[in-house]
């Protein structure tokens, strides 16, 4: 089997890249080891379209989140994919949190985010009577969307562009032969010959990179797994907006999001794990209850039940967070026809179309005729 481009990973980012390439008239094959597309990081999150408030200026996260939000909303409008600009309230629950709130506002301004409004306790109380806060920031552009519908449309775009998607076929290794790359899969007798390999394997990106012959080991980051649990509210949504505490070092804190069906979930927390596991222990309930009660004092233990969990791919250990996206090309690893994507966590959903354009841009730098 042959294809000009092979994308390893059939999540939202891998499919966005494949879509970008097929739209440019390129021959693309997507390899997804799971039977279902997007079964891992893509759907095990809050499904929030972020405005770009949190990310350090001049980072890829800051750049691609801001660019990606507009691209994504425009795409949803074009394809009639459901989303809701509920808006986000980031709240300080005590005076000692006010410096952190002001720092967040400064970061947003540095990222050219104009739609972020400082608000008082009285204003928050008017917007959300159930919320306890001394001050906050209001982001009216933050939205929630239907991630499954988004993936469905990306998939169809790839197929309409002549691309091929193979599910249940796992990448095993890649070797170089003159101007081609030979990819071995777990499917008996299936070898794929390609000119360009794009590693968008999410949680498994480092593992895939280690099996590319000639990839310098020093270019491959270690994989750290940050598990995040979610609990679900058993009653109707008490908020009309998304409610976020101030961010933590490794995440955005246990926040409240209400999806398009009106279901309110709280999460994720951060638990550093060695293995991929999606169970949610009921023993976490007290932790969630106490965290939520800081900004939603009316919460009761019996109002919460386990929902789901996700795992975020990290490239830095807990004491070196926050991390940036890594989009790695030949300038780093020396293999001109390979691109690795590492640490594709939040805001990966928001940024996916901008990430795809960034990958396409780097390909054009290596191969101007493409």
Domain borders along the chain are 2-45+148-221+322-366, 88-140+224-314
Angstrom distance (rounded) from CA 13 to CA 294: 35
User: pTM to 2 decimals?
Assistant: 0.96
Report cis status (omega within 30 of 0) of the bond before 268. yes
Bin 227: left if φ > 0, else alpha if -120 < ψ < 50, else beta: beta
Answer for the pair 52, 347: CB distance below 8 angstroms, yes or no.
yes
- pLDDT score of 368: 56
Query: Where residue 369 falls among pLDDT bands split at 50, 70, 90?
Result: low
Fold adopted by 2-45+148-221+322-366: FAD/NAD(P)-binding domain (3.50.50)
Among 113, 123, 118, residue whose Cα is nearest residue 136: 118
Instruction: State both tokens at 114.
Output: 């104009």
Instruction: State both tokens at 31.
Output: 């390899």
Mean pLDDT of 118-144: 97
As a whole-number percent, the residues of the chain with pLDDT over 70 amount to: 99
Give strand pairing partners of 31.
8, 166
Angstrom distance (rounded) from CA 317 to CA 338: 26
Look-up of token digits 């519908």: 149
Look-up of token digits 């030949």: 330
Instruction: State both tokens at 7.
Output: 């994308």
- pLDDT score of 188: 83
Render pLDDT for 83-92 as a digit per residue (tens, 0 to 9): 999 999 999 9
- pLDDT score of 252: 83
- pLDDT score of 172: 97
Burial of residue 159, with CB atoms counted within 10 A of its CB: 0-12 exposed, 13-18 middle, 19 or more buried: middle
Query: Where residue 93 falls among pLDDT bands split at 50, 70, 90?
Result: very high
Answer for the pair 188, 319: CB distance below 8 angstroms, yes or no.
no
Q: Where are the alpha helices (DSSP H) in 177-323?
A: 205-210, 285-293
pLDDT above 80 (res 351):
yes
Angstrom distance (rounded) from CA 321 to CA 346: 13
- pLDDT score of 135: 99
CATH 3.30.9.10 fits 88-140+224-314, yes or no: yes
As a whole-number percent, the residues of the chain with pLDDT over 90 amount to: 93
Look-up of token digits 């967040």: 104
The DSSP letter of residue 178 is T
Angstrom distance (rounded) from CA 365 to CA 370: 9
The DSSP letter of residue 255 is E
């Amino acid at each position: 089997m042959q294809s000009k481009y092979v994308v390893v990973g059939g999540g939202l980012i891998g499919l966005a890249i494949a879509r970008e390439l097929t739209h440019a008239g390129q021959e693309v094959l997507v390899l997804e080891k799971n039977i279902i597309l997007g079964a891992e990081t893509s759907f095990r999150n809050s499904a929030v379209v972020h405005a770009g408030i949190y990310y350090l200026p001049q980072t890829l996260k800051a750049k691609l989140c801001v660019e990606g939000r507009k691209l994504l909303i425009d795409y949803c409008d074009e394809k009639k994919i459901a989303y809701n600009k509920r808006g986000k309230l980031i709240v300080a629950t005590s005076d000692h949190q006010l410096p952190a709130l002001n720092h967040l506002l400064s970061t947003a301004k540095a990222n050219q985010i104009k739609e972020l409004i400082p608000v008082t306790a009285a204003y928050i109380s008017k917007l959300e009577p159930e919320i306890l806060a001394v001050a906050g920031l209001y982001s009216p552009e933050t939205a929630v969307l239907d991630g499954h519908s988004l993936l469905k449309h990306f998939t169809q775009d790839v197929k309409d562009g002549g691309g091929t998607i193979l599910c249940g076929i796992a990448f095993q290794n890649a070797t170089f032969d003159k101007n081609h790359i030979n990819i071995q899969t777990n499917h008996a007798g299936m070898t794929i010959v390609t000119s360009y390999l794009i590693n968008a394997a999410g949680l498994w990106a480092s593992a895939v990179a280690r099996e590319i012959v000639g990839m310098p080991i020093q270019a491959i980051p270690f994989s750290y797994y940050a598990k995040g649990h979610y609990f679900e509210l058993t009653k109707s949504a008490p908020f009309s907006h998304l409610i976020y505490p101030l961010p933590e070092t490794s995440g955005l804190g246990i926040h409240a999001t209400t999806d398009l069906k009106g279901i309110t979930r709280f999460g994720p927390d951060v638990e550093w794990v060695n293995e991929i596991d999606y169970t949610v222990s009921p023993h976490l309930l007290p932790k969630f209850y106490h965290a939520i009660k800081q900004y939603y004092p009316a919460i009761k233990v019996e109002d919460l039940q386990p929902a789901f969990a996700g795992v975020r791919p990290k490239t830095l250990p807990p004491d070196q967070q926050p991390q940036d996206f890594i989009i790695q090309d030949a300038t780093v690893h020396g293999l001109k026809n390979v691109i690795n994507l590492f640490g594709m966590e939040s805001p990966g959903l928001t940024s996916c179309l901008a990430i795809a354009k960034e990958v396409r841009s780097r390909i054009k730098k290596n191969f101007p005729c493409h």
